[in-house]
Structure 1
């Protein structure tokens, strides 16, 4: 006796397939997830060890984030973010966003997921949401862990900025929340570009590397002053604008521009990725 399926029944099965919790479990079991968080665990420890070997600079001139890192755990957090914004966090986002789709393709499991049945747009959405969640978790984990390590190593004093202004812990934690959100938004363009590349290749390294290369190329172009105001449109031009959130009075202008440019690029890139993937032959 044959069973007749209706479009509504197929849609219901598709909606129930590949739940987000299953995708999160899949990504948690990946070795690269463990490696990413192992590196984030090691970073504050390496910084504390490096400062212990190098000693302390007690000069009277105005000091920057690196010079103030040993003043308190709060200052170590800020320096850890400063040191990782230009490359480490870029790699983290590119890895979480660019790896999932081409990895499935390289393992020949992508076509089986799509015949589960899982609608293509649902598969992309689940993987993109999972990538965003893991990236955000990494951005939250790094300052939280650095604060614990720095507090043990240097004490729990307030954050002291380069100009001598201080932020107590309740206000500092709120400002760090702003920093994390801004980093997530400003680096979204890296994840979106890596995600786009991931829908066009079976090589995870190409997708991840492409996202990192985009950031590096834009950083190089940003040094060309002849570009003038065009540099503001480059991804990464406002990468360190989060430092404004740690001033006594927050100037939102640079962060707003950086976030808007990044989100705008990300929407376009993800849209192209979906359009491309819906038309790609992934069954052969």
Structure 2
């Protein structure tokens, strides 16, 4: 992401031509960071940890018949069920945390390295710099969202076989039905992560502390989740980010109802657009010396 100076002699003068900030260079920069490698390593380790936990639970013979134990028993019935339980567990916290990390850490980390000031003086257009970091952060979030169920299917298939989806009510989805529905559900989950990513991105333009951006976005998400439990806030809580976060499960029903998914998509895009515009507005007016 650095600016390359190339001298050119024209009419006895030396001009400086700056290489424009490119997405591939930003991609290499962010992918080579340890936090990215650790984040994806944790994502890949999660299904392996679940398989090990299920095996340990079977050996111990400790089953209390709770709702959670029934869900975990269902997860061991085949690759489709295992991947679905994995998505259910990860979408509540892990994917939210990764979205906040990828989109909230990029700008304040650059500021903490004291390289942001150089990039803006170089010169690199502020909107171009911000767009580069936002695109790579959103792309990393999308990759994590796609990688989670794909890796879960592979691990679940090897550990528990390749049976299609079965739910406790006995309703089944064939692989031909399940895979498109799962792809649609993951696309919806990705859209519902955009508000968290944009809030983290906005906080990142206001702070040079990466932890403040990531933690702030996660705390805001938790706060909205708590407020969403209050019936007294009807119907306003329907507009909260995360109110429809579990509606992706409707896509996997035998007879799906798309109403909540449509509402969740629209509200997520509204929140994401609003905080993204606030981030650009803040960054374009920020004092680069501060």
TM-score normalised to structure 2 length: 0.89
Cα pair distance change 1:259/1:183, threshold 3 Å: same
- Equivalent residue in structure 2 for 1:247, among 253, 263, 271: 253
1:117 aligns to 2:120 (yes or no): no
1:37 aligns to 2:36 (yes or no): no
1:101 aligns to 2:107 (yes or no): yes
- 8 A contact 2:127–2:280 mirrored in 1: yes
Asked which structure has the greater RCO (Cα within 8 Å, sep 6+), the reply is: 1
**CA displacement at 1:90 relative to structure 2:** 0.5
Match of 2:53 in 1: 50
**CA displacement at 1:58 relative to structure 2:** 11
Kindly tell me the number of residue pairs found equivalent between the two proteins: 274
- Equivalent residue in structure 2 for 1:198, among 201, 204, 214: 204
- 8 A contact 1:65–1:75 mirrored in 2: no
1:138 aligns to 2:144 (yes or no): yes
Match of 1:28 in 2: 31
Shifted more, 215-224 versus 163-172: the winner is: 163-172
Task: Structure 1 unaligned segments of length 5 or more: list them.
Answer: none
Distance in 2, matches of 1:2 and 1:268, equals 46
Match of 1:269 in 2: 275
- 8 A contact 2:54–2:72 mirrored in 1: no
Match of 2:230 in 1: 224
1:70 aligns to 2:73 (yes or no): no
**CA displacement at 1:53 relative to structure 2:** 1.8
Distance in 2, matches of 1:263 and 1:112, equals 33
Cα pair distance change 1:64/1:119, threshold 3 Å: farther
1:155 aligns to 2:158 (yes or no): no
> Which secondary structure state, in structure 1, belongs to the residue aligned with residue 234 of structure 2?
helix
What value does the CA root-mean-square deviation take over the aligned residues? Answer: 2.0
> Which secondary structure state, in structure 1, belongs to the residue aligned with residue 249 of structure 2?
helix
Distance in 2, matches of 1:204 and 1:166, equals 45
Distance in 2, matches of 1:241 and 1:256, equals 9
> Which secondary structure state, in structure 2, belongs to the residue aligned with residue 126 of structure 1?
helix
1:19 aligns to 2:25 (yes or no): no
**CA displacement at 1:251 relative to structure 2:** 1.2
TM-score normalised to structure 1 length: 0.91
Shifted more, 219-228 versus 93-102: the winner is: 219-228
Match of 2:135 in 1: 129
**CA displacement at 1:64 relative to structure 2:** 6.2
Distance in 1, matches of 2:183 and 2:40, equals 19
Distance in 2, matches of 1:81 and 1:4, equals 54
- 8 A contact 1:94–1:191 mirrored in 2: yes
Distance in 2, matches of 1:229 and 1:68, equals 35
**CA displacement at 1:31 relative to structure 2:** 0.5
